[in-house]
Structure 1
């Protein structure tokens, strides 16, 4: 099957690395499973879904950290991994490798910038969830860069998608940032309540920031054209589909006035 996919000329042949092959399968499967869990009501314990997973009865209360500290912990290790790629001469000498490393660096720089200067926070994050999310971003960033490193010097895919990928990535970054800014403006200083988001694509879907997050990673995968990057996109899309479905369900349960025509992730479709 892998040979059939690469024969289309869209990807580099999979490198002879058991580690990358295993990580590609594990990443896609585990993220898809978490997405299904979100639909079933078992959420990663952060943001508005924290209360849904609070233990009841005599169970021990899990360790929590502030949302800002937790989200910085989500992204900073992956940011450092992206920055470390610039110390690898062969990767930096390759145009595609440079584009992928730069895209990852800009993405996680943007994430940390938003945590520090854009997002408004209302709760806490369970430490276990922060560790698992941080590790996922870190190890998948390392794997994407490692796959790109192994592809240096290999014959280029027949269809060159790195420049279209850069355009898709830029669209995703701008769209994601724009909708995060709209979300941040829902609350005045000191306000911890939730409101129905408005503006941008919020009139069509409740999670346009997730949609543009997927677009960001599609852009990275197009620039990379490795099966490892593609597996992360696929798994992330499944996860964010589940997360957006759970988010819409949460808003419907909290607001009687929630517009019935708004979809979860894809305008007019889903």
Structure 2
């Protein structure tokens, strides 16, 4: 049944191993968020004074996203004669990370710093996952197409995800005026129903990648990413409840009215 909508696993030990590693590492990161161990770029994590190399958050996030964006762009030159599905995937990945860089430069507002070593680790993670997804798609070119073609629904999900994520990031950027550093309860859009609508749309975007690609690796990465963002959403809601006595009880963590 699974092979009706996914390409057969390619004869590559690297891609097979990365499928397992990506799913396991992202799922474990989500569990860590639930336990209160946060990634070193979140508002829940405080930079220790003993860390030697610190950069401002904007620079740190540019370091995180640029290599993955360049991997997406380079794929057009490295694999010039690929399928339309491959072109859709690499275009979506390039747009995804270009949008992230755009937000870093023109949308997000920052109130802290970032450890350089953490930025490098996150950057490598994004770069490796992007490059592996592209490579897995390249390896599938000689396989017959899955019986169920999901690339067009995948593009629709990707577009909904990226536009919804951008809209809610813009809503977050309006919370604080220039010079303000305190946190506020987000409002507007789906923030009236869930704490992290931007994560909900991020998940939709990754499901879009997996539908466009229809490779085992893309589905593993999307599932792991969803589990991580679920854990992070729960952690975020718990943080807001602890900081604001008037936080509304009906606002869920990730999925309106449900979760």
TM-score (norm 2): 0.97
State yes or no: 1:39 paired with 2:28: no
Map of 1:104 onto structure 2: 93
What is the 5 A alignment of 1:194-205? 194-205=183-194
State yes or no: 1:13 paired with 2:21: no
What is the 5 A alignment of 1:1-150? 5-6=2-3, 9-51=4-46, 54-55=47-48, 60-61=50-51, 63-90=53-80, 92-150=81-139
User: In 2, distance between residues paired with 1:43 and 1:179?
Assistant: 22
User: In 2, distance between residues paired with 1:176 and 1:208?
Assistant: 7
Question: Closer, same or farther in 2 for the Cα pair 1:130/1:89, shift >3 Å?
Answer: closer
User: How far 1:136 sits from its partner (Å)?
Assistant: 1.0
Map of 2:238 onto structure 1: 249
Could you say what secondary structure the match of 2:181 adopts?
A: coil
User: In 2, distance between residues paired with 1:60 and 1:259?
Assistant: 38
Q: Is the 8 A contact 2:51 2:115 kept in 1?
A: no
What is the 5 A alignment of 1:141-160? 141-160=130-149
1:93-146 CA distances to partner (integer Å, 9 max, x unpaired)? Answer: 310000000000000000000000000111111223212211111000000000
Q: Which runs of 5+ in 2 are unaligned?
A: none
Q: Which runs of 5+ in 1 are unaligned?
A: none
User: In 1, distance between residues paired with 2:55 and 2:219?
Assistant: 33
Q: Is the 8 A contact 2:193 2:257 kept in 1?
A: yes
Q: Choose which of 209, 213, 225 in structure 2 pairs with 1:220.
A: 209
State yes or no: 1:211 paired with 2:211: no
What is the Cα-based RMSD across aligned positions, in Å? 1.3
User: In 2, distance between residues paired with 1:46 and 1:100?
Assistant: 28
User: How far 1:62 sits from its partner (Å)?
Assistant: 5.2
- How many residues are treated as equivalent by the alignment? 259
User: How far 1:34 sits from its partner (Å)?
Assistant: 0.8
User: How far 1:32 sits from its partner (Å)?
Assistant: 0.5
User: How far 1:35 sits from its partner (Å)?
Assistant: 0.6
Could you say what secondary structure the match of 2:114 adopts?
A: strand
1:32-84 CA distances to partner (integer Å, 9 max, x unpaired)? Answer: 00110011011111231122xx55xxx83353211101111111000000001
User: In 1, distance between residues paired with 2:210 and 2:13?
Assistant: 20
User: In 1, distance between residues paired with 2:137 and 2:112?
Assistant: 38
TM-score (norm 1): 0.93
